[in-house]
Every structure is written in C-alpha cells, then in structure tokens.
Structure 1
C-alpha cells in the first residue's frame, strides 16, 4: 500500500466520524430549538430536524468524498501528516461553517416565531376603540 492510499484511509477514518459526531450533536440539541420555534409541536420539530440532519450528511459527506483526491502524491510519513492535517483541518472548518449556518437559521426562525407571538398578544390586548377616538372633539362655536 502506498503512502497516498494510507493517507486516504486515515483521512476517511478521521473525517467521517467527525461528521457523524457533529451531525448527532446538531440533531440532539437542534430539537430543543425547533420545538420552541414550532410552538412545542414535537412531530413537526422532529420531522424538520430529521430533514436538516439528512441535508447536513449529504452536504458534508459529499464534501469529504470529493475532497479525498486533492493534495497530490504522498511520498513519506511527513507528507502523510501534512496532507492529513490540511484535509482534516479543511473538513473541520467546513463543518464549523455549516454548523454556524444551522445555528443562525435556528435563531432566525426562533426570533421570528417569538416576534409573531408577541405581535398576536399585543393585538389581542389592545383595547377596541372606534377609529375616530384618536381625534379631539371639534371646538364649539
């Protein structure tokens, strides 16, 4: 087995488990945010959470597989470590960016849901006034 093939195997042994761990962490903790966003509708939150995890796997594992070939020929142990550090580092950066985007989407959805709930509470609490009540009475002559 050549150094290049050993590098490919080691890269996959690092990158795939890291991707799986990040996806499971996002799935577990994202469920809490989604339940809040969807007003404690657990079925909808779980369905959206599952779709997001599938998308995460498709995107990141696709990137890991496509990035496997890049880096050129590896000729020795030093080259293997250097190539692995670059490859695993890039994968971790991509995972971090995707995670950040997921958190931003969750936060945006949560903020929008809370703003909508606050608006509906304010509308319900507003006293019913006729439209002309805001104008002062006309002066008498």
Structure 2
C-alpha cells in the first residue's frame, strides 16, 4: 500500500472521531443551555440543539473530506507524520473555531430569549448614580 493512502486513512481515522467528540460535547452541553433559555418550550430547545448539531456535522465533515487530498509527495513514514500533523492540526483549529461560533450562537439565542428583567440590578443592591453611562464621580469628604 502506498504511504499516501496510509496517510489518508490515518487522517480520516483521527479527524472523524475528533469531529464526533466535539459534536457530542456541543450537543450535550448545548441542550442543557438551550433548555434553560427555552424553559417555556423544551421541544423547541431540543429542536434548535439538533439543528445546530446537524449543521456542525455537515460543515465539519464536509471540510474534513474536502481537505483530504494533498499535492505533496509522501514517500516514507516521516512524510506520513508530517502530512498528518498539518492536516489534523488544521482540522482541530477549524473545529475549535466552529465550536466558538456555536457558543456565540448559543449566547445570541440566550440574549434574545431572556426577559429584560433578568438583566436588571437586584433590588437589594443600591444603584450608583450614572453620568453618561459611567458611574458619577464621588465627591471627596
């Protein structure tokens, strides 16, 4: 078997499980987060979570498969490892960026669905006078 084929097989054996682990983590913790945000509609929380996970899988696995090919020459084990390190490293970075994007989406959903009352200062905490959006300076005594 040619070394490049071994490199491709190892790349897929590493990248696909890595994608699945990240997607399962997003699904598990995203479901908890969305259940809190959509407390009045748990079905909607599960639906949004599943849609985000499916989109994550489609984009991630699409990238993994498109990034499979290489124009470099792979002649020996060293070349296999060098090719794998670049490919798996880039896949890990892309998955990290996608994870960050999902967290930002979850946060945006949360901000839109939480009532404005939760953003208010608690009643037992005194409010400082504001001057142009900043706390007013306290005069010296």
In 2, Cα distance between the equivalents of 1:18 and 1:40? 34
Structure 2 unaligned residues grouped into runs of 5+: 121-141
Q: Runs of 4+ in structure 1 displaced over 6 angstroms?
A: none
Q: What do the CA deviations read for 1:68-104 (whole angstroms, capped 9, x no partner)? A: 0035221111111000000000000000000000001
| Superposition TM-score, scaled by structure 1 size | 0.79
Q: What do the CA deviations read for 1:27-52 (whole angstroms, capped 9, x no partner)? A: 00000111122234211111111111
In 1, Cα distance between the equivalents of 2:94 and 2:24? 16
Confirm or deny that 1:108 pairs with 2:108: yes
Structure 1 residue aligned with 2:139: none
* CA spacing shift, 1:66–1:35, aligned 2, 3 Å: same
- How far the C-alpha of 1:109 sits from its partner, in A, is 1.4
In 2, Cα distance between the equivalents of 1:22 and 1:40? 28
Structure 1 residue aligned with 2:63: 63
Structure 2 residue aligned with 1:10: 10
Structure 2 residue aligned with 1:118: 116
In 2, Cα distance between the equivalents of 1:55 and 1:111? 21
SS in 2 for 1:73: coil
In 1, Cα distance between the equivalents of 2:64 and 2:70? 11
Residues 11 and 84, structure 1, Cα contact 8 Å, conserved in 2: yes
Find the structure with the greater CA-based Rg: 1
Aligned residues: 120
Q: How well do the aligned residues superpose, as a CA RMSD in angstroms?
A: 1.8
| Superposition TM-score, scaled by structure 2 size | 0.79
